Amino acid sequence: MATSTHIQPTLVFADETGNIYDHPDLLMLCRRGDEITLPRPDELMPLPAESEFFLLPGRSALGFDPETGQVEEMEELAVAVFASPAHTLSALAAYRTRPEAPVLPLFAYGAVGYAEGKFWVCARKVDQDRRQVFSGIPRERIENGARKLLTELPKNRLVRHLTGCALTYGCPAAKNFALGRFEAPLPTSRVCNARCVGCISLQPEDSGFPSTQNRIAFKPTEREVAEVMRRHQSKEKRPILSFGQGCEGEPLTEAELIAKAVTLFRKGGGKGTVNINTNASLPDTLPDLAKAGVNSIRVSLNSTRKGPYEAYYRPNGYAFEDVVRSIHTAKAAGMFVSLNLLYFPGLTDGEKEWDALAELITATKLDFVQMRNMNLDPELVLGLMRGHDFGPCMGLANFLKRMKKTCPWIEFGYFNPYLDPQTKLPVLGK
């Protein structure tokens, strides 16, 4: 990864109309938990392509004056970046929130600076997979792909739903289905037994920020699901077929439907990696799903400790212990188990959090950790986690290095890997 040990980017800030500037003297600052600090030399990388800039309303930009050694607050606004997929943020934007500031919407707000004619971000590329790289793919190709699907499967409601997602929301998984490549989405559930504070498919009126997608409004049949799976397998030689998408609730609440659809697919000669992205709340559904042919699960969590986990997931009718039991059950059933770790700099890389994660990985021998970014207003996260001691933070680089040393079999990435049908091991970096 291109990092730069001698770079000291300057502060980037914006005016009210969104014009972005780099400061001639003040240096870039970043934030890990409650700590505002200069970026670590080894965590800076050039801003990856397809990243997005955000102007932060009601938040003053903060910069470091190397002459005085002081943090300076600007009248102008702070700027953050949403790093493109496959990149984990190691530090967030540094700013002071003014009293009238609105809650920020559901994104991750990375720290950004400017030097040597380009923007720099505190992040690390954790996956070489190109499934969410769409630069160079004309929209026309996605439209043609969607039209072809609608022609081939006119009665399939799931196809109508997914082509809508591809063309309206720009959902990367739905676009890949239309393009017939990589991972296809299989949403099935309208309800969830968790109430995540940062849920992207359902937000209470008073949360102050909208959900980024609407939940699917119907329950597909097993035939409709199996048809979508077969269609994708006919186009992609390494198909990944994933239940548990952003536009639905918890897939395990539809375990019976999923088991029937996967059985239909496998009995018809269906090949590929069949995965469930889940909150892993219902361990007793997993043995039947494994028997039906589901060979991979991805367990979402913000913490591997009961307190911080339940503060964010607000489980309804299950508890953190059920999530741990699901991981053991899935491993016992021969499934490939990934964690979808919602990484928050300053908390997730805290010593106490690291210890708990190492203990869980060692006890369950789970296989893979997807290093995702927590997409929630940082001050909301810190407020929510107040009172849960995370210990001193070690930084993303140390977090990964130490975990690999302690659990040498563990692999890190960002996406659900395709599993080699013979070895059942992930095929990485394609």
| Interacting residues with ligand SF4 (CB under 6 A) | 192, 194-196, 199, 201-202, 249-250, 279
- Is the Cβ of residue 323 or residue 361 nearer to ligand SF4 in the bound state? 323
| Cα-based distances in Å from 5 to 9, 30, 42, 44 | 11, 16, 6, 8
What is the nearest approach in angstroms of ligand SF4 to the Cβ of residue 190? 10
The phi, psi pair for 8, rounded to 5°, reads -130, 85
What is the nearest approach in angstroms of ligand SF4 to the Cβ of residue 131? 21
Q: Which two tokens stand for residue 197?
A: 């504070």
- Is the Cβ of residue 263 or residue 281 nearer to ligand SF4 in the bound state? 281
- Is the Cβ of residue 199 or residue 240 nearer to ligand SF4 in the bound state? 199
**Cα torsion for 190, 196, 198, 199, to the nearest 10°?**
0
What is the nearest approach in angstroms of ligand SF4 to the Cβ of residue 317? 12
What is the nearest approach in angstroms of ligand SF4 to the Cβ of residue 15? 35
What is the nearest approach in angstroms of ligand SF4 to the Cβ of residue 195? 6
Question: Which among 203, 171, 169, 167 is positioned nearest to 186, based on CA atoms?
Answer: 171
User: How far apart are alpha carbons 219 and 189 in whole angstroms?
Assistant: 7
- Is the Cβ of residue 195 or residue 352 nearer to ligand SF4 in the bound state? 195
- Is the Cβ of residue 95 or residue 309 nearer to ligand SF4 in the bound state? 309
Other Cβ atoms within 10 Å of 193 Cβ, number: 18
Q: Running DSSP on this structure, what letter comes out for residue 416?
A: P
Question: Which among 353, 355, 356 is positioned nearest to 390, based on CA atoms?
Answer: 353
Task: Specify whether the CB–CB gap between 228 and 158 falls below 8 A.
Answer: yes
What is the nearest approach in angstroms of ligand SF4 to the Cβ of residue 339? 14
What is the nearest approach in angstroms of ligand SF4 to the Cβ of residue 211? 8
What is the nearest approach in angstroms of ligand SF4 to the Cβ of residue 366? 19
- Is the Cβ of residue 53 or residue 169 nearer to ligand SF4 in the bound state? 169
Task: Specify whether the CB–CB gap between 292 and 263 falls below 8 A.
Answer: yes
User: How far apart are alpha carbons 28 and 13 in whole angstroms?
Assistant: 10
Q: Which two tokens stand for residue 288?
A: 């039947």
- Is the Cβ of residue 112 or residue 282 nearer to ligand SF4 in the bound state? 282
- Specify the amino acid at residue 248: E
> For the stretch 34-69, what's the b/e string if a residue is b when 16 or more beta carbons lie within 10 angstroms of its beta carbon?
eebebbbebbbbbbbeebeebbbebbbbbbbeeeee
CA angle 385–388–390, rounded 5-degree value:
100
- Is the Cβ of residue 279 or residue 303 nearer to ligand SF4 in the bound state? 279
